[in-house]
């Protein structure tokens, strides 16, 4: 008898779950059918693209990057033969209006976490005092377990550990807002520790940056889906799931969809954004006490979204040979120049493509789009004066108000697990309790965990082993220094 699993949502979490199930023995034996139900006409979710109307160029809504510490995502892309669509960089360039450009490159010969020391020293916008404060805080962070940081915001912890306002502005705000999508005054220090220790200090190559060289819609919306379909995964696209109904007598889920017949399944993986999942199953997103701590409870309203803005610019010239720059002390936070090489296929009249990424609410959040574009172009002109003043041939501002969830202390303790109290219902998505903030890595991990939850249920006649990649292995010194 064939068992059916329906995955609701075709974003990275849903695709990750489908890929994991496709590797199982029960699927390969033909005893398991996997259906991905996605409301849009293509997969990929928030990792999507749009077509610029006048040129026909495909451009990502917002530039996504992965880091070397994102082992589950990178392993997933490697298994799907898609990692070659990403370019790996082992250094970053920082820019500050008063101090120019600095190269941040971890030492190749010092063991982690000491390999970051010379990289910090190379940042011209950080004074010796700034660097001393940062090193002291990183040491205390390495010696403090994550469980002791869940209830405190990053701002409170950093201030109590000797970080001046200048150090906060020039270092911690830059890193944490980009990584967590919100300000230190709102995010949990546990999430900040995940970024700083696992993302930078814990292992060599953890801070490598992987930038897609092809549109996300091509990677996750096309090639990923086609490869899974060739394995036998069924995709039902273009029909929004309206309701999920469990029939206790027949032990089946009925998945009601708009414009299509209902689908029945023994198991459902809900891999939608948290707002949709919470609307369907509020009991899993409401009061979520943490194990051993009955006082850590509260309403589901603790979950809140944080925006990300992508400013898309087609300029009459290339501004620099650098592929990307971290911008400090400016409205712009990240600068990318033609990451997917659209200019190679474009005519000179269409311009050179650039993208600026701004995470969280910012000074220009309520500005008219023309004013935001003008300010960003002014900042770029000052950063790259040798290129001259660029002319904007066309522009587009795309803001996703629900790009990520805000990893506040209240949110961190209420993120539900993939395995629920209902044995046939499983949760996926970047807001699931994976230990990661709202990232592609968190989404990929959640999909693998949801697939494992399915396989751990009674559908498998024999035990199914589903390996989930471990985090980067820490060296001998890091293992002794980091708790």
Residues comprising the binding site? 241
Q: Which residues contact 262 (CB under 8 A, 6 or more apart)?
A: 254, 255, 256
Binding-site residue numbers for substrate are 241
**CA angle, residues 137, 331, 202, in degrees to nearest 5:** 30
Instruction: Determine whether 159 is exposed, middle or buried from the number of CB atoms within 10 Å of its CB (0-12, 13-18, 19+).
Output: middle
Query: Which 8-state DSSP code applies to residue 407?
Result: -
Pairing between strand 3-8 and 32-38? parallel
Residue bearing tokens 């985090």: 471
The full length of the chain comes to 483
Q: How many CB atoms lie within 10 A of CB 458?
A: 9
Task: Tell how far CA 98 is from the center of its chain.
Answer: 31
Q: Read out DSSP for 228-287?
A: HHHHT-EEEES--EEEEEEETTTTEEEEEETTS--EEESEEEE-S-HHHHHHH-GGGTS-
What's the CA gap between 74 and 93, in Å, rounded?
Answer: 23
* Listed residue (205, 158, 212) closest to 342, CA to CA: 212
Task: Label residues 225-257 b or e (16+ Cβ within 10 Å = b).
Answer: bebbeeeebbbbeebebeebeeeeeeebbebeb
Query: Which 8-state DSSP code applies to residue 110?
Result: S
What's the CA gap between 17 and 401, in Å, rounded?
Answer: 26
* Listed residue (210, 89, 204, 117) closest to 473, CA to CA: 204
β partners of residue 7: 36, 269
Tokens of 262: 């209902």
The answer to whether the beta carbons of residues 18 and 233 sit under 8 Å apart is: yes
Instruction: Determine whether 41 is exposed, middle or buried from the number of CB atoms within 10 Å of its CB (0-12, 13-18, 19+).
Output: exposed
β partners of residue 356: 311, 335
């Amino acid at each position: 008898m064939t068992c059916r699993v329906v995955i609701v949502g075709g974003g990275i979490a849903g695709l990750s779950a489908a890929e994991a199930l496709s590797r199982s023995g029960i699927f390969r034996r033909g005893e398991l059918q996997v259906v991905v139900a996605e409301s849009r006409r293509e997969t990929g979710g928030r990792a999507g693209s749009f077509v610029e109307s006048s040129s026909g160029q495909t451009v990502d809504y917002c530039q996504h990057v992965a880091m070397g510490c994102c082992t589950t995502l990178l392993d997933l892309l490697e298994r799907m033969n898609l990692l070659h669509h990403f370019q790996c960089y082992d250094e970053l360039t920082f820019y500050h209006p008063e101090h120019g450009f600095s190269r941040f490159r971890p030492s190749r010969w010092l063991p982690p976490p000491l390999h970051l020391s010379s990289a910090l020293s190379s940042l011209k916008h950080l004074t010796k005092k700034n660097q001393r404060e940062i090193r002291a805080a990183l040491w205390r962070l390495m010696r403090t377990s994550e469980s002791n940081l869940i209830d405190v915001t990053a701002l409170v912890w950093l201030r109590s550990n000797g970080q001046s306002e200048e150090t906060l502005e020039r270092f911690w705000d830059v890193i944490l807002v980009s990584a967590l999508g919100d300000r230190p005054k709102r995010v949990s220090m546990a999430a900040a520790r995940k970024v700083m220790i696992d993302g930078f200090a814990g292992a060599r190559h953890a801070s490598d940056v992987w930038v897609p060289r092809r549109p996300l819609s091509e990677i996750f919306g096309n090639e990923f889906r086609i490869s899974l379909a060739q394995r036998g995964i069924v995709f039902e696209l273009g029909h929004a799931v309206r309701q999920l109904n469990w029939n206790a007598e027949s032990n089946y889920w009925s998945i009601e969809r708009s414009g299509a017949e209902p689908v029945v399944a023994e198991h459902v993986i809900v891999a939608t954004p948290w707002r949709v999942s919470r609307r369907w199953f509020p009991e899993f997103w409401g009061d979520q006490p943490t194990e051993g701590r009955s006082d850590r409870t509260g309403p589901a309203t603790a979950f809140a979204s944080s925006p990300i803005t992508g400013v898309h610019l087609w300029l009459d010239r290339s501004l620099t040979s650098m592929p990307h720059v971290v911008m400090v002390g400016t409205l712009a936070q990240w600068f990318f120049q033609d990451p997917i090489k659209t200019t190679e296929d474009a005519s000179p009249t269409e311009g050179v493509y650039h993208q600026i990424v701004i995470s969280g609410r910012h000074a220009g959040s309520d500005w008219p789009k023309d004013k935001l574009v003008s300010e960003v172009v002014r900042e770029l002109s000052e950063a790259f004066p040798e290129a001259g003043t660029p002319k904007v041939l066309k522009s587009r501002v795309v803001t996703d108000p629900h790009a990520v969830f805000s990893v506040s202390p209240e949110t961190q303790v209420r993120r539900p697990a993939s395995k629920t109290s209902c044995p046939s219902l499983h949760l996926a998505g970047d807001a699931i309790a994976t230990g990661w903030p709202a990232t592609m890595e968190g989404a990929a991990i959640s999909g693998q965990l949801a697939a494992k939850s399915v396989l751990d249920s009674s559908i498998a006649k024999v035990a199914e082993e589903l390996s989930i990649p471990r985090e980067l292995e820490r060296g001998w010194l890091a293992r002794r220094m980091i708790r």
